[in-house]
C-alpha cells in the first residue's frame, strides 16, 4: 500500500478512553484471563547499576528484581525472578516512563534499552525514565533458559540436506531441551507472551506507575500487543516498530517471494549490476535448478579449520530467505549471486555449515514463538504456498518452525490470543517497505482495530530502523512521544547500495 505524504500537525490528542475495549461483535474472539493477580504489588530488591550509553558517557541506573508466579494459574506454585533496569530522566516535568520491550525473543532488554535511552539522534532520557526488562527466561532474570547445557544437532556434510532434514534434527534437539528443563523443575509451558505481558505489568505495579509508554521492536511489538490486549488502561501511548501482529509469528512464503522480486527490481536498476545481473529472480531460479540437478562440493572454514560440504537448493534458499530485509546482509547478496552464476559458491559456506551444525539456543525463544503459533487458516496458507513452485524460497524463512514445535508438547495460546482486537490507545506503527520479516501488510491487517493510530511507512528501509537518520522522522516521533497527534505518512531513505564482487 502507498501512503500520501502529509505534514505533521501538532494537535493535542484528546482520547477519552485509553482502554482496549472488546467490541460486542468480537467478544468471543478475545482472550479472557483466568489468571488471578496478586492483590499487592511485588516487592523490589534494588542494587546499583552502571553502564555506558551509546553516547560514550557513563550511565547510572538501578537494577531491580521481583518475584512473580511462574504460572499465574497456580499462584501458590513456583515463582521466578524478573530483572529490570530503571534509568531516570533529569527532566523536572517528564513524560510517562518508557517501558522498552526488546525484540527477538531472547535478548536482554536491560542491555538493549541503553540504545534508545541514550541515542545521539533521539535520546529518550531527555524527557522520560526508561525501564528495560529482561523478559522471563532471559538475561539477568532467573531462570535463564539459555544457560547451561547446549542442545545441538549434526547433519551430514557429504550430501545435500533438505528442510525436512533440518526440521527432524532440530526437533530431536528440542526434545532433549524440553526433557532437560523439565528435569530441572521448569514448567516451559508457562513461558508464553501472555505470562510475559503480565510480568511487564507486575514491573509497572512494583514501581507504582499508573501510566506507561510502551516501546516495542519486532517481537517486542508482538509482546506489546499482548500487553495492550490485557492492560491497556495503563498505557498512555505506544510505539510499535516493525510490527509482528498476533497471528504473524510464522511468515508467508509469498511475502518472501514478493521481496525477492523487489530485490530483483532494485538490482536491475543498479548501475553496477544492471548489465551483468539484469534478471536476478531468473538467475536464482536457474541456480536452484543447477543445485538440484548437480549438488556442488565447496570448502568452508569452521573454527579455523577447512571443511568440505556438499551444498544443495536448501542452502541457497535459506541464505536468501535469511538475508532479505536485512540491510547489512542485503547489500552483499547480488554480488554473491553473481559469483554463484560464475561457478563460485563460496558465499554459501557459512550458511551451509550452520544448517548442518545447529542448536536450540534459548528455550525461552522456542516457547514464546511456539505458543504464539498461528491460526489454522494461516498454517494452511503457509503450506499451500510452500508447495507452490512460484515461491522459489518455499518456507525457508520459517524452518525449523512450526514443525519443531511438536516437540514442545504443542503449547498454544489459541485463536483467541491471535484474534482481532480493538484498542483506543494512541499507537504509532512504523514499517520498512523492504522488510520481509515484519512487512507493512502486517500493520494493514490489524490497524482497523486501532482507531487512534498512525502508520509511518519508510521506503527503502528493511528490518533495521534506519529511519532514525531522517530529521523528519525524529521530529514526528518526538511529537508523538509528547502526546500530540501525528498523521500516517511515507518517508524515504536512500535506495540500498549494493557492494560489488571482489575485483568487480
pLDDT value of position 36: 58
pTM: predicted TM-score of the whole model, two decimal places:
0.91
Check whether residue 434 and residue 467 sit in a common domain: yes
Name the percent of the chain lying above pLDDT 90: 85
For residue 481, tell me if it sits in a domain: yes
User: What is the predicted pLDDT for the residue at 37?
Assistant: 65
Is it the case that residue 13 has pLDDT exceeding 60?
no
What pLDDT shows up at residue 14?
26
User: Has residue 211 been placed in a domain?
Assistant: yes
- Domain boundary at 408, 424, 451, which? 408
Residues 280 and 388 in one domain: yes
Please check whether residue 120 lies inside any domain of the structure. Answer: yes
pLDDT confidence band for 4 (50 / 70 / 90): very low
**Spatial CA neighbour of 458 closest among 448, 444, 447, 468:** 468
- What is the predicted pLDDT for the residue at 118? 97
pLDDT band per the 50, 70, 90 thresholds, residue 10: very low
Q: What is the pLDDT of residue 390?
A: 97
pLDDT value of position 502: 61
Domain boundary among 408, 428, 450: 408
Say yes or no: 398 and 270 in one domain. yes
16 and 117 inside one domain:
yes
Summarised one tens digit per residue, pLDDT across range 435-493 is 999 999 999 999 999 999 999 999 999 999 999 999 999 999 999 999 999 999 999 99
- Nearest in space to 288 (alpha carbons), one of 264, 314, 252: 314
189: pLDDT strictly greater than 60: yes
- Give the per-residue pLDDT at 360: 94
Q: How confident is the model at residue 139 (pLDDT cuts 50, 70, 90)?
A: very high
The parent domain of residue 256 ranges over 152-181+251-408
Residues 61-99 as b/e (b if ≥16 CB within 10 A, e otherwise) read bebbbbbbbbbbeeeeeeebbbbbbbbebeeeeebbbbb
Is the CB of residue 173 less than 8 Å from the CB of residue 153? Answer: yes
Q: Is 409 a residue whose pLDDT tops 60?
A: yes
Is residue 82 located within the same domain as residue 102?
Answer: yes
* Grid coordinates of 326: 536485512
Residue 503 lies in a domain: no
Q: Tell whether the model's pLDDT for residue 503 goes beyond 70.
A: no
Asked if 266 and 230 sit in the same domain, the reply is no
Note whether 21 and 424 are within 8 A (CB).
Answer: yes
Amino acid at each position: 500500500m502507498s501512503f500520501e505524504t502529509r505534514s505533521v500537525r501538532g494537535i493535542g490528542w484528546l482520547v477519552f478512553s485509553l482502554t482496549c475495549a472488546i467490541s460486542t461483535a468480537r467478544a468471543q474472539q478475545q482472550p479472557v484471563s483466568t489468571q488471578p493477580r496478586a492483590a499487592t504489588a511485588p516487592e523490589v530488591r534494588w542494587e546499583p547499576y552502571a553502564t555506558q550509553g551509546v553516547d560514550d558517557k557513563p550511565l547510572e541506573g538501578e537494577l531491580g528484581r521481583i518475584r512473580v508466579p511462574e504460572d499465574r494459574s497456580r499462584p501458590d506454585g513456583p515463582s521466578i525472578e524478573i530483572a529490570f533496569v530503571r534509568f531516570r530522566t533529569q527532566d523536572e516535568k517528564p513524560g510517562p516512563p518508557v517501558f522498552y520491550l526488546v525484540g527477538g525473543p531472547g535478548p536482554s532488554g536491560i542491555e538493549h534499552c541503553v540504545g534508545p535511552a541514550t541515542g545521539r539522534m533521539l535520546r529518550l532520557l531527555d524527557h522520560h525514565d526508561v525501564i528495560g526488562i529482561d523478559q522471563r527466561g532471559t538475561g539477568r532474570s532467573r531462570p535463564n533458559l539459555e544457560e547451561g547445557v547446549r542442545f545441538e544437532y549434526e547433519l551430514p556434510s557429504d550430501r545435500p540436506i533438505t528442510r525436512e532434514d533440518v526440521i527432524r534434527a532440530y526437533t530431536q534437539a528440542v526434545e532433549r531441551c524440553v526433557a532437560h528443563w523439565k528435569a530441572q523443575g521448569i514448567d516451559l509451558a508457562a513461558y508464553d507472551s501472555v505470562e510475559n505481558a503480565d510480568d511487564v505489568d507486575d514491573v509497572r505495579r512494583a514501581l507504582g506507575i499508573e501510566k506507561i509508554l510502551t516501546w516495542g521492536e519486532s517481537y517486542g511489538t508482538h509482546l506489546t500487543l499482548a500487553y495492550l490486549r490485557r492492560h491497556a488502561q495503563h498505557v498512555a501511548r505506544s510505539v510499535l516498530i516493525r510490527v509482528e501482529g498476533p497471528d504473524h509469528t510464522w511468515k508467508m512464503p509469498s511475502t518472501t517471494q514478493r521481496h525477492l522480486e523487489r530485490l530483483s527490481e532494485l538490482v536491475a536498476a543498479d548501475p553496477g549490476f544492471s548489465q551483468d545481473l539484469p534478471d536476478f529472480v531468473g538467475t536464482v531460479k536457474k541456480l536452484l535448478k543447477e543445485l538440484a540437478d548437480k549438488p556442488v562440493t565447496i570448502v568452508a572454514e569452521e573454527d579455523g579449520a577447512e571443511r568440505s560440504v556438499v551444498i544443495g537448493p536448501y542452502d541457497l534458499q535459506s541464505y536468501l530467505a535469511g538475508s532479505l530485509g536485512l540491510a547489512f546482509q542485503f547489500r552483499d547478496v547480488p554480488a554473491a549471486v553473481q559469483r554463484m552464476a560464475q561457478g563460485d559458491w563460496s558465499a554459501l559456506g557459512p550458511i551451509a555449515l550452520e544448517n548442518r551444525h545447529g542448536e536450540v539456543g534459548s528455550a525461552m525463544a522456542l516457547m514464546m514463538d511456539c505458543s504464539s503459533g498461528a491460526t489454522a487458516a494461516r498454517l494452511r496458507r503457509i503450506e499451500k504456498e510452500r508447495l507452490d513452485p512460484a515461491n522459489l524460497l518455499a518456507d525457508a524463512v520459517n524452518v525449523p518452525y512450526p514443525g519443531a514445535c511438536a516437540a514442545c508438547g504443542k503449547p498454544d495460546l489459541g485463536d483467541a490470543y491471535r484474534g482481532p482486537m480493538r484498542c483506543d490507545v494512541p499507537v504509532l506503527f512504523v514499517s520498512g517497505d523492504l522488510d520481509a520479516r515484519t512487512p507493512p501488510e502486517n500493520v494493514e491487517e490489524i490497524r482497523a482495530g486501532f482507531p487512534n493510530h498512525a502508520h509511518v511507512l519508510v521506503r527503502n528501509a528493511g528490518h533495521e530502523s534506519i529511519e532514525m537518520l531522517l530529521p523528519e522522522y525524529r521530529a514526528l516521533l518526538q511529537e508523538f512521544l509528547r502526546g500530540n497527534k501525528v498523521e500516517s505518512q511515507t518517508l524515504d531513505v536512500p535506495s540500498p547500495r549494493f557492494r560489488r564482487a571482489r575485483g568487480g
